[in-house]
Structure 1
Amino acid sequence: MQNITILYIAIAAVTALLLALFQYLYKSKLKSNLKYLLLALRTISIFGILVLLINPKFESFTYFDEKPTLVVAVDNSESISYLKQDEKAKEVVKALSNNSELNNRFNIQTFSFGKSVSTLDSLNFNERQSNLALALKQFGEVYANQTAPIVVLSDGNQTYGSDYSYVSKGIKQSVYPVILGDSTVYSDLSIKQLNVNRYVYLKNKFPVEVIANYSGKDAINTELKIWSGNSVVFRKSLQFNASKTSEIISTALIANSVGVKTYRVELVALENEKNKVNNTKNFGVEVIDQKTNIALVYDRMHPDLGALKKSIESNEQRSVSIFKPKELLNKINDFQLVILYQTNNSFNSILKEIKEQKINTFIISGETTNWNILNESQDYYKQKITNQTENYQPSLNKNYGTFIVENIDFNSFPPLKSEFGTLQISVPHDILLYKSVNGITIEDALLATFEANGTKHAILNGEDIWKWRAQSFINTNSFNNFDEFINKLVQYLSSNKKRKRINIDYKSFYNGNDDVIISAQYFNKNFEFDNSASLSIILKNKDDESVREVPLLLNNGNYTVDLSGINAGLYDFTIKHNVESVAASGSFQILEYNVEQQFLNADITKLEALASNSKGEAYFVNQANALIDNLLNDKRYTTIQKSTKNIVPLIDWKYLLGLIVLSLFIEWFIRKYNGLI
């Protein structure tokens, strides 16, 4: 309590006493000793009321003991059972969880992880990928302000995410890996990596790069083959020994026909080789007839130009050529889409040619756009000209229905600089992104699409889209989300297909460990998105003719189904409405590959480095008792006594209010009883 507050209380006490003395002693007609009791009661009442007005604050301390947390995380991926370590892993988890001394010393919290982290319920070791880096990162964040050693039961073979060797350096907690796997080194051949483009072009050669590895001490001979169906299209003899353990093999194959083509890379196995699964790997390519050619027209250099070209060309099916307006006039028929960036007077001729040739366009405006030229060149939209600019952030229209769009955290994107004023679109259109100012969405288009006179168009009313691409990388450590968003927009604009009531989004082929997620949108007869539709997918395996039907669930504005984990093979599918006769079909292929079966041993070196970097210690699965003893004897993990300081204002103390009421009541009763009232 502060000194000034004590002074106020003292003054209140003196004031209360003086007021009571004035009433009951000064010129009082009451002669009995009763006046002293009434004096005391009145003093208490006045003092209590004055103290409540002062409202002093008191500090109280609550003490409690906080035990350290012991995090036990188990790798629940298929590689654990493949290495025959599943039962041993369960035994170690049971030994840690049921140890009474550990439970007295720690708050034990158990988790399992594969591609993601979850609270440990049961272990089935059926996760198709493992991401130890993600698990360590999340534990480091959750327990950043606690003493929480981390016990990780894993073989150390990560198949997804960042390298956990680097992630561990940013974690304050000590990590104790329990190594699940055999430390014996066997002679083994494996295909470490396979690099190939997803899309190739008809009659063109496409490169294939294979990295072949060998672990062993003896000199061996083998052969690498690439199969297309039952035919060998490439073969090469290889030699390995103790000093030469890896070789990069490069070749080029020719694409003879359109469609998805699958190949199998094979390393001829050694005699008595223990793991032959990692000797083969399938890959696929989609052969297309021609690229989509896109013209990007500008008269002012800007970082947006490079960002657009990079994003669009991230899809190998598309090629972007950059022109000045006059350079494109004689070549305009070579392009399926023209992007017009910041139009001005020099665009007059190209705008007329686009209108005559009925070419799809993507208009991007900005600070130097001449809106008079754009407004006069067409009848589809008009921008109110104010000669002032404003910064607008994007806000996703969740009911946008022209094509499927994922929310890539648009709210975090920097604002675009745009003409201040309303953009009025006079033809039927669909707004993809609204303008947002200071977090308030306004009913004005930042990005909109529309169709008119057999052509498709989009208009982005703002410059500095390069900042969006950079922010997307900051958010996800990858340009993929933003590039996919731009490519979906370009795919819509460069295609002349008519709009359908069911739009579907899927890939033509998936690798064995990919997430197989198919998305769909359904529209009513007025082409308005229907979020109450009942959709299902009929999936047919062309290899064994099996058929199954799965419902689609509404998720973030799209109907989705997750088919991850289905067997490799060719599939036809139909997405249908369960009431109306509306459907859309497609097909895809899943390539045979299980990344979790590519390992023969635990990665002991990386797990020991993980322990060393975090000031922990690595143990093998048969050393559980040594791990328990280490945790119990480590002086870093002791119970800490902590205190919580509570500041309580006196006005919250109900007993003082009760005392005031009681003293006033007693005083009134005595005065009433003695006829003083």
Structure 2
Amino acid sequence: MLAILIAAVGIVSILYFKNKDNRELTKTQVRILMVLRFISFFLIAFLLLSPFIKNLKRIVQNPIVIAAWDNSGSVIADADSATAAQSVNEIKELVESELGDQYTVVNYTFGQDIKLDGDLNFAEKKSDYSELLTTISNNHFNENIGAVVIAGDGIYNQGMNPVNMTDEITYPVYTIGMGDTTVVADARIQDVKVNRTSFSGNRFPVELDTRFSKLAGQPLKLSVFQDNEKLAETVITPPNNDYFFSHQFILDSGDPGLKHFTATIETTENERNTENNSAGFVVNVLENKQKILILSEGPHPDNGAIKSTLEQQQSYEVSLFSEEPYPANLSDFNLVVLNQLPSSGISMADIISESRNSRVPLLFIVGNKTFLPQLNTLATGVEINPMAGSPEETQAIVNPAYGTFSISENFREVVLRFPPLLVPFANYNLEPGFTPLLYQKVKNIETSKPLIATGTLNGRKTGYIFGEGIWRWRLYNYYFNQTHDEFNELINQLVQYLALRENEDNFMIDFQPVYAEIDDIVLKAEVYNDAFERITTEEVNIDIVNDTGEEFHFTFDVQGDSYTLNAGKLPVGNYNFTSEVTIGDETYTETRSFAVTAVNLENVVTRANHRMLYQLASQSGGNFFLPGQASQLVDEIENSNQFKPVSYFQEMVNELLNLRWLFFVFLLLLSVEWFLRKYWGIY
């Protein structure tokens, strides 16, 4: 700033004191011209420094009212659909017309998706109230939300209970209870739990959750059909008018292919909703017989427990080696089980290297003889750092977030009582691709240490049992339940997941055998060169054909070191696809199939849940209304003193160079100086 002042004074002095042409001017005239030139030069030089100006701007936000409309099918399921739809639309028009003048009204529709200004067609297949509240909070962060109005039946079958989110809500929620709350006679299948993949010749469990309302003492048949052939049946007699019952059937897989099954509950004469009396599910039955190799450091009862379980399944061929020499060629096997290997006397470096080259999955059973330092150096996805102390006895607790394969409720209950395993006293570090199925419970203290974990490392599946003595689990299971079912379920599910190898060549497609009609069809592909290095330089194409022969052609997109395809949503039915890629002179082809199943969640529970809506409103500071009281809701919002405009000051920073009026100041200063010079005869 000082430099600019000095420069301005110097230039003005040279221009008007040293210039002989200015001698004709009086001192007053010179001083006037000097001031004008000084101000002009100083301002121009000052602006070249890009100075900023700060000021406070007052911003006023009028309150907004957010109206959310339940667009799921259950809203019109138990009533005349046209009348119910008309009622919702009339309430929507009333809220918009009465509140639109005073507030800014923002409309959402919600079901499985949240849409701004969406169309009300009641075609959504799921209801998610928690996602609605989360979307409102995210989209209107720091906005002046006066109130949220939710019109719906209160039935949610996706997401969490919205009442549990009231602590996070900073605005009142007013709810309008749609639908019918009358308790009527109803027998329904609430959920089907089944693994989507099985092997030909095996048996697989399917667990059906059922609920009965106002049907006490009435025997009803629960059956499972395949192509109109009855496979299994049981009779359920509800002891009261609100009875929940879960039953597990064991079904034969049969021949390979996509198998469609239907579970049904016998209907009664006075049932209003019979669409929830049946539920379909699809199982992908594979034909390959799995070869399992068990390698062990000497005889061990855990070997016999695993071998006995697997040999009950026709699709497994089990080979057991309890001493060297072990088989050198592992490519013939679908899974290698290493029981307490590597040990201090037996190195597994060659075996593990061979399994890595042939991409054979591994299942490690860690025991007292396992040589942990070598295991850690083999880079198998887990690092076990032993601490000073003896091995400790550990019981199992289930990881509720585990989703790689499903396990039954019976197993979840029984495994808590299984005797402890002997595990290393150590710290456990899992690679990001691994997820614990069971955690360790030491002396009644639940820990985050894994007891059983599975994952994928460099495209190869790997599993870990971090303790020895699972043979005790099998004995306990039979001693107390007279069956090995829960132990067999654990071993079968674990081995089936690990042994299932999608492909053996340079081209692999990863997909789900069953998709829901509301889900996008997403497939992933991996391409390897002859050195089994991932490449993404080649184009991967796929043709998908439905039941009627209609064909859809797609090209995979490259994402990172793999390929991804999102084919969008497809209609319900069976689909076959052929995908191919050319690597050099070789063309690799994959031909597989999948099914798209219908989603019937909105017809499972159709009785409105006004209690949830009342709790949501009361705990957030709002009120609950019935459809006929919509005008009262509008009056309460209009007469509320809480909904006021909010003003705040925002600091604004602008460059002085952007102020337009400064241009006219410069123009005025320079123009006046030029005029006076001409007027006083100085050219």
1:127 aligns with: 124
> What's the offset of the Cα at 1:36?
1.9
Structure 1 pair 120/295, CA: closer, same or farther in 2 (3 Å)? farther
> What's the offset of the Cα at 1:49?
4.1
RMSD of aligned residue pairs (Cα, Å): 5.3
1:247 to 223, 241, 245: 245
Q: With the length of structure 1 as denominator, give the TM-score of the two structures.
A: 0.63
Matches within 5 A, 1:17-416: 34-47=26-39, 49-50=41-42, 58-83=53-78, 84=81, 85-97=84-96, 99=97, 101-148=98-145, 149-200=147-198, 205-216=203-214, 219-240=217-238, 242=240, 244-288=242-286, 290=289, 293=292, 330=326, 335-336=333-334, 350-352=348-350, 360-361=358-359
Is 1:498–2:512 an aligned residue pair?
no
Structure 1 pair 530/31, CA: closer, same or farther in 2 (3 Å)? closer
1:620 aligns with: 626
2:492 aligns with: none
Contact 1:52/1:651, CA 8 A, preserved across alignment:
no
User: What is the SS of the residue equivalent to 2:101?
Assistant: helix
Greater shift in the superposed pair: 286-295 or 169-178: 286-295
Is 1:466–2:436 an aligned residue pair?
no
Contact 2:71/2:123, CA 8 A, preserved across alignment:
yes
User: What is the SS of the residue equivalent to 1:105?
Assistant: coil
Greater shift in the superposed pair: 269-278 or 281-290: 281-290
2:366 aligns with: none
> What's the offset of the Cα at 1:664?
4.8
Structure 1 pair 31/538, CA: closer, same or farther in 2 (3 Å)? closer
User: What is the SS of the residue equivalent to 1:240?
Assistant: coil
1:586 aligns with: 592
User: What is the SS of the residue equivalent to 2:131?
Assistant: helix
1:552 to 530, 544, 554: 554
- Partner Cα separation in structure 2 for residue 218 and residue 572 of structure 1: 46
> C-alpha offsets along residues 307-334 of structure 1, whole Å, 9 cap, x if unaligned?
xxxxxxxxx9999x9x9x9978637758
Q: How many residues align?
A: 535
> What's the offset of the Cα at 1:251?
4.3
Structure 1 pair 54/625, CA: closer, same or farther in 2 (3 Å)? same
Matches within 5 A, 1:492-641: 497-499=504-506, 504-510=509-515, 515-518=520-523, 529=536, 535-539=542-546, 541=547, 546-552=548-554, 554-555=556-557, 557=559, 558=563, 560=565, 562=567, 564=569, 566-568=571-573, 570-574=574-578, 584-591=590-597, 593-641=599-647
Structure 1 pair 59/632, CA: closer, same or farther in 2 (3 Å)? same
- Partner amino acid, structure 1, of 2:32: A
> C-alpha offsets along residues 532-552 of structure 1, whole Å, 9 cap, x if unaligned?
77754222x2xxxx2212232
Structure 1: segments with no counterpart, 5+ residues = 299-315, 375-462, 472-478
Contact 1:63/1:643, CA 8 A, preserved across alignment:
yes
Contact 1:41/1:664, CA 8 A, preserved across alignment:
no
> What's the offset of the Cα at 1:45?
3.2
Q: With the length of structure 2 as denominator, give the TM-score of the two structures.
A: 0.63
Greater shift in the superposed pair: 263-272 or 242-251: 242-251
- Partner Cα separation in structure 1 for residue 244 and residue 516 of structure 2: 24
- Partner Cα separation in structure 1 for residue 177 and residue 291 of structure 2: 51
- Partner Cα separation in structure 2 for residue 277 and residue 160 of structure 1: 19
- Partner amino acid, structure 2, of 1:212: T
User: What is the SS of the residue equivalent to 1:165?
Assistant: helix
- Partner amino acid, structure 1, of 2:504: K
- Partner Cα separation in structure 1 for residue 354 and residue 648 of structure 2: 78
Structure 1 pair 536/284, CA: closer, same or farther in 2 (3 Å)? closer
- Partner Cα separation in structure 1 for residue 676 and residue 354 of structure 2: 105
- Partner Cα separation in structure 1 for residue 218 and residue 337 of structure 2: 57
User: What is the SS of the residue equivalent to 2:130?
Assistant: helix
- Partner Cα separation in structure 1 for residue 215 and residue 527 of structure 2: 60
> C-alpha offsets along residues 385-428 of structure 1, whole Å, 9 cap, x if unaligned?
xxxxxxxxxxxxxxxxxxxxxxxxxxxxxxxxxxxxxxxxxxxx
- Partner Cα separation in structure 2 for residue 556 and residue 297 of structure 1: 42
- Partner Cα separation in structure 2 for residue 370 and residue 267 of structure 1: 52
Contact 1:511/1:592, CA 8 A, preserved across alignment:
yes
User: What is the SS of the residue equivalent to 1:245?
Assistant: strand
